[in-house]
């Protein structure tokens, strides 16, 4: 006997092959369009703008490399570059080193309060930079916590020699928790068996850190360095809020202003070509530092 199976409805028509091929592009189309409109096209325009004199309206005058030469000859630009390098290099060791030590302590289970330390250390990173800057303006004021607790008489917000160190304290306080989480995530990926085997071989704690932990943490350290470099060279909010003065419309004084202030100042003054040139000099600096860091931390094969 032959059995005939009948479907309950009409067969579904298969979509054309060309439609199947176009479907993935439809999903990525919103990103591609937004990337082109808000990043790629403005970047190309800004490259050309950096070789011109343009005030936002009226004719555009081609000036070639004059904008770049003007910046390289400007004392204010030199000072802002030095300030930015200060905000990058000075907090680097205490922030990344402190975060790594705290991550090692929590990972080694020397303390039972890891569940409490983790959120407490990360809270400053969650706080908005504006709120953090305003809070530290109170902490570093003449009668603030730092001067009162340590018996100091330092004008953190007005002394040109001290205000940059106040910004450094704020940056370390905000960044410590973030890099603590980054290093802790890297440490948890190291197998316990590997550390236990090294301990059974008679190695000390420092030898295990130096010869086992640090080599395995090289990609994580590289990631932290690159992220910190990019964030530091683009620094703007913290120094301007902390030492810019109450009601200030110009931000931090030249002795403490970062490079980003050069962009804002030139845009406010109608010097769009100079502002674009500053942006591309920053891009080149970030690219160079990142390439150097990648080469220094390149894993040996």
Return the HEC string of the chain: CCCCCCCCCCCCCCCCHHHHHHHHHHHHHHHHHHHHHHHHHHHHHHHHHCCEECCCCCCCEECCCHHHHHHHCCHHHHHHHHHHHHHHHCCHHHHHHHHHHHHHHHHCCCCCCHHHHHHHHHHHHHCCHHHHHHHHHHHCCCCCHHHHHHCCCCCCCCCCCCHHHHHHHHHHHHHHHHHHHHHHHHHHCCCHHHHHHHHHCCCCHHHHHHHHHHHHCHHHHHHHHHHHHHHHHCCCHHHHHHHCCCCCCCCCCCCCCCCHHHHHHHHHCCCHHHHHHHHHHHHHHHHHHHHHHHHHCCCCC
pLDDT of residue 38: 92
The pLDDT tens digits of the residues spanning 232-275 come to 999 999 999 898 864 455 678 888 999 999 999 898 888 999 99
Which DSSP letter does residue 270 get? T
Torsion angle of C-alpha atoms 179, 185, 189, 190, degrees rounded to 10: 40
pLDDT of residue 114: 65
Residues near 127 by beta carbon (within 8 Å), at least 6 away in sequence:
135, 174
pLDDT of residue 3: 47
Residue corresponding to tokens 């932990």: 213
Q: At what angle do helices 163-188 and 114-126 cross, to 10 degrees?
A: 130
pLDDT (average), residues 75-99: 94
Total-model pTM: 0.84
φ, ψ dihedrals at 142, nearest 5°: -55, -40
- So where are the chain's domains? 17-69, 70-296
First to last CA, the chain: 69
Is residue 274 within 8 Å of 70, Cβ to Cβ?
yes
CA dist 296 and 227 (Å) reads: 16
Q: Which fold has domain 70-296?
A: MetI-like fold (1.10.3720)
CA dist 194 and 214 (Å) reads: 13
State yes or no: pLDDT of 16 exceeds 80: no
Residue corresponding to tokens 């409109």: 37
- Model confidence at 200, pLDDT cuts 50, 70, 90, reads confident
Highest mean pLDDT among 86-95, 115-124, 186-195: 86-95
């Amino acid at each position: 006997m032959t059995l005939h199976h009948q479907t309950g409805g009409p067969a579904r028509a298969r979509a054309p092959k060309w439609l199947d091929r176009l479907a993935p592009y439809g999903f990525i189309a919103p990103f591609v369009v937004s990337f082109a409109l808000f990043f790629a096209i403005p970047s190309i325009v800004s490259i050309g703008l950096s070789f011109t004199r343009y005030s936002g309206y009226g004719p555009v005058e081609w000036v070639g490399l004059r904008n770049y030469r003007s910046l390289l000859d400007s004392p204010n630009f030199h000072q802002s570059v030095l300030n930015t390098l200060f905000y990058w290099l000075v907090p680097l060791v205490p922030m990344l080193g402190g975060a790594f030590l705290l991550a090692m302590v929590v990972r080694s289970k020397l303390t039972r309060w890891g569940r409490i330390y983790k959120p407490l250390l990360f809270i400053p990173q969650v706080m908005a930079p504006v709120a953090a800057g305003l809070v530290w303006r109170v902490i570093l004021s003449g009668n603030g916590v730092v001067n009162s607790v340590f018996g100091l008489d330092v004008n953190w917000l007005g002394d040109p020699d001290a205000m940059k160190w106040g910004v450094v304290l704020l940056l370390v306080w905000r960044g410590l928790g973030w890099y603590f989480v980054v290093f802790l995530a890297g440490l948890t990926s190291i197998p316990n068996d590997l550390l236990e085997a090294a301990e059974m071989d008679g190695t000390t704690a420092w030898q295990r850190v130096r010869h086992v932990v640090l080599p395995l943490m090289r990609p994580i350290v590289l990631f932290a360095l690159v992220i910190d470099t990019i964030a530091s060279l683009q620094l703007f909010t913290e120094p301007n809020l902390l030492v810019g003065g109450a009601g200030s419309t110009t931000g931090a004084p030249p002795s403490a202003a970062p490079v980003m202030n050069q962009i804002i100042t030139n845009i406010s003054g109608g010097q769009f070509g100079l502002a674009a040139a500053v942006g591309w000099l920053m891009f080149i600096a970030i690219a160079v530092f990142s390439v150097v860091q990648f080469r220094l931390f390149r894993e040996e094969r």
